[in-house]
Amino acid sequence: MTRPGTQAVPIQGADDSWYIPYTGLDPEDIRRKLIDLAVSVRLNAYAPYSGILVGATIHSAEGGIYTGCNCETVTLTQTLHAEDNARGSMIAEGDRKIVQVAVAVAPHGEHFDLERTPPMPESLTIRDFPPSCGQCLQIILEHTGNDPEVELIFVTTDGGVYTTTMATALPMPFMIDLPGAQAPEAPEAPA
Ligand SMILES: [Zn+2]
């Protein structure tokens, strides 16, 4: 069994490769796969203190799919968030650019019913779904290449799927003109 969060999760692509050709699959199928993986990796979360289990999936421009869950520490301040965990897996595999992120958040003991498609609330508020925190949005931004249209997908336990963009979720990101900023280096080539 592939252990989520430690390596690229294979998705059946047109050429049976580990990496999906981004343009080769139906965008809705990709979105559904990102959600399914976020929901399943959430169950591996280590959250004995908050009891809030979080799963996240990153889809990279290179075609990789990476998962992560939250990992708490008794010091509380050393907690690793799911999005950052998935980002670490992406970096370790050599990918650098994020095009989509899916996040599933719910307390321990709650389950996601993805078969349901509840009607959208008439006026959506932040209380209708748990979004990524500001720190994770800034971390995601690091790998968007300043693309404001990078998609964030949030799923709720009743099967609701809410999508937004980085520009909407993080309208005032921290930006500074440091060498290398927003131009993530490709992995070092082997000697
Ligand atoms: Zn976070």
Q: pLDDT by residue (tens digit) across 6-49?
A: 334 444 444 433 344 444 678 888 899 999 999 999 999 999 99
Q: Is pLDDT above 50 for 130?
A: yes
Give the pLDDT band (50/70/90) at residue 4: very low
Give the pLDDT band (50/70/90) at residue 123: low
Q: What is the mean pLDDT of the chain?
A: 83
Q: Is pLDDT above 50 for 3?
A: no
Q: What pLDDT score does 124 carry?
A: 64
**Burial, 191: exposed, middle or buried (Cβ in 10 Å; 0-12, 13-18, 19+)?**
exposed
Distance 67 CA to ligand 1 centre (A): 14
Side-chain half-sphere exposure of 26, counting CA atoms within 13 A = 4
Q: What pLDDT score does 20 carry?
A: 44
Segment holding 164, helix H or strand E: strand 161-165
What are the extents of the domains in the chain? 22-169
Please name the residue that has the structure tokens 């709720």: 156
Distance 63 CA to ligand 1 centre (A): 23
Distance 15 CA to ligand 1 centre (A): 35
Across the range 160-178, mean pLDDT stands at: 88
Please give the class, per CATH, of domain 22-169. alpha beta
Between the alpha carbon of residue 177 and those of residues 113, 166, 180, 183, the distances in Å are 44, 20, 8, 11
Q: Largest Cα–Cα distance in the chain?
A: 57
Q: What pLDDT score does 58 carry?
A: 96
Distance 140 CA to ligand 1 centre (A): 10
Give the pLDDT band (50/70/90) at residue 176: confident
> Which pTM was predicted?
0.81
Q: pLDDT by residue (tens digit) across 67-111?
A: 999 999 999 999 999 999 999 999 999 999 999 999 999 999 999
Q: Is pLDDT above 80 for 181?
A: no
Integer Cα distance of 191 and 189 in angstroms? 6
Distance 132 CA to ligand 1 centre (A): 5
Distance 13 CA to ligand 1 centre (A): 30
Integer Cα distance of 42 and 45 in angstroms? 5
CB 51 within 8 A of CB 108: yes
Distance 12 CA to ligand 1 centre (A): 29
